[in-house]
Structures are given as C-alpha cells and as structure tokens.
Amino acid sequence: MLIRKPPAIKSSEITPESVYLNRRELLRAAGITTAGMISGTAHGDESDMNFKPLGKLTPSPYSTDAEPTGFADIASYNNFYEFGLDKSDPAARSGDFKPKPWSVTVDGAAEVTGTFTYEDIVGPHPLEERVYRLRCVEAWSMVVPWAGFPLGDLLKRFKPTSNAKYVAFETVYRPDEMPGQRRRLLRWPYREGLRIDEAMHPLTILATGLYGVELPNQNGAPLRLVVPWKYGFKSIKSIVRISFIEDEPFTTWNDAAPSEYGFFANVNPEVDHPRWSQARERPIGGGFFASKVPTLMFNGYADEVASLYADMDLSRYY
C-alpha cells in the first residue's frame, strides 16, 4: 500500500480548539434549523438537542485547511434518499430514526466474521478529526470536519484473506423509521463498495461524528463511510453490513443508472455527467454570492490517491 506524503497543513487551523471555539454557538445555530425539526420542539432550545459531544479528537495531517462549512448547512442540506428526495428531507424527516443500539455484520473473505455491536466496532479506535472536502455528484461541495478513524484499521481486525478483493457495504433497511424507504425510490437497501486498496487507503475513514459531536441522524448516524476523493454517494451512511468479496460489488446508483454513475465515481472535472458538467461546483454556504468554482481532480486529493488508478482509463472507469 502506498502512503503518500500528507498535504502541507497549518496545524493552527485544524486544532479542535480553533474549530470548536464557537461550538455552542454553532450548535445553537443548528438548533434553529435542525434540532427543532428533529425533536419537534421549540427552536433553539439546547436541552432538546441530541448531539452528544465526542470528547477529545486527535488532529490529522490529512485535514484540509479550508474553512469548514457551517454546521447548520451540513446538517440541513444533503442527499439521503432513505428519508426522502429533497435535500431538506433528511433533516426534516429523520426524527424517528434510532441509531442506538446498533450492530454491524461482517462477513465474507475474512478470518474473523460475525455480528458486532457499535461499541465493538468503534471502541478500540482513537477518534481523529478529519476536515475533508466533500463533492456531491450534483456539483455542489462542502468542507466537513468529520470525526472518525481509518477504515483500514478496522478492516485489519477481521483479517481479510487474499480473496478479499473488494469491500461491500450496506445501509440499514428500516422503512418504519426511514420514510423514503417506503417508496421504491432506489433498490433498497442502499449498497456501496470499494476496491480493497481504496478501502485500506489512509484517507478512507469511518465517521462517527462531525463538528465534534455524534453524527446527526440525517448525516448517516451512527456510522458512515467517508471517501473524500469520490462523489458523495460512495460515502454510504448508517452502515449495518461490511462484506469482503472477490468480485466487484453491486452498488446502488450504478444499478439505477449505469451510464451516469460508475463503480469508481472518482471526482473528475474532465469526465462530465452525461447531463451536466462536473468541471465546476458550488461551495455551499456563500448564499447568493457562491458562484461555481473549478472542481479539482480527485477532489484535491490527487497527490494521495492518483497512484491507485495509474493504469486506468478514467473516462471509461468513471
């Protein structure tokens, strides 16, 4: 496995202290747009908010020094079709979802398999802060201060065998708690996958939180994947199954529209979506002044990940 030199960083800009200086305020702002909707109670009442602080996070050299998008925007604007089609649906309609207790089934080509509790999965791993760019396939972007740990560190605990060429993931299927799943918007459950070298790459993390608090339901609680050099739909949310497999796995968007969403889905400004350009993106958070800006190859992570695809025709394996 290749570990490239981490990007140059200004550590002063990624310490939890500076990012979280105003956490109370950020949370209060979020309470107005998010917590109020979640709990259906009075706006801005901090006692009603269920965002539990995660404690101390280790800063990471992989963090970008870009300014994080506001918590309120991150927690109120995203795609999570399990809760509905609109980007406001996840925040508005995820109130019934119960991310605890949680368990994850691990199966396939590994020596250790079985069903593990959330605590089994997450417990042994020190949580890091990873401030990553996020690029949606719909041509908008954010900067998210995730809390999590490298996926590779978890996968190694299961001792994958040499047949483990890919890792497949599955989102929970709970139509009672996830109103979007009551309609056949996609073939449920949502499934995603990575090549094993992508899964083991140090940039790939499992996130349990953002902005120093546990993941809000709408952002994929309690456990989600984050692969920052791929379009957002690869970063599967609310994971209940991890499978080590030999062949390229079924992935949901690829199944829904194979000519539009490939298995790899690497951010690539030169390979357009058949219906819209991927050359530029809108940074969320700038109001009416957020004109589109150029999209970077591999979402700006080319130094770290380009070597994974050295011999591949990226316009064919999009």
Partner 1 sequence: MSFPNRRQLRRIVKPVWFMACLAPFAWLILRALGLAGDDLGADPIEATQDFTGIWALRLLLVTLAITPVRRLTGFIWLTQLRRMTGLFALFYASAHVLNYLVPDQGLNWAAIIEDILERPFITLGALALTGLIALGITSTRGWQVRLGKRWLTLHRLVYVIAILVVWHFWWQVKEVITEPLIYAVILTALLGSRLIKKKRVRFKPDA
Report the interface residues with partner 1, using CB under 8 A.
72-73, 76-77, 85, 87-88, 138, 140, 185-186, 256-257, 272, 275-277, 279-280, 282, 284-285, 287-292
Distance, in Å, from the CA atom of 245 to the CA atom of 227, rounded to the nearest integer, reads: 19
**How near is the Cβ of 308 to partner 1 at its closest, in Å?**
27
Nearer to partner 1, 195 or 292 (CB): 292
Residue number with CB closer to partner 1 (7 or 70): 70
Residue 312 φ/ψ region, left for φ over 0, alpha for ψ in the -120 to 50 degree band, beta for the rest: beta
Of all helices (H) and strands (E), which one includes residue 116? Answer: strand 114-117
Residue placing its CB nearer to partner 1 in the complex, 7 or 285: 285
Whole-number Å distance between alpha carbons of 29 and 43: 10
> In whole angstroms, how close is the CB of 242 to partner 1 at the nearest point?
26
Omega prior to 101 cis, within 30 of 0: yes
Q: How far is the CB of 92 from partner 1 (least distance, A)?
A: 10
Query: Among 136, 88, 133, 90, which residue's Cα sits nearest to residue 233?
Result: 136
In the complex, minimum distance from the CB of residue 287 to partner 1, in angstroms, rounded to a whole number? 6
When the beta carbons of 270 and 303 are compared against partner 1, the nearer one is: 270
| Residue 141 CB, nearest approach to partner 1 (Å) | 11
H or E stretch at 285: none
Q: Write the DSSP symbol of residue 32.
A: I
163 contact partners, CB below 8 Å, separation of at least 6: 109, 244, 246
Pick 75 or 155: Cβ nearer partner 1: 75
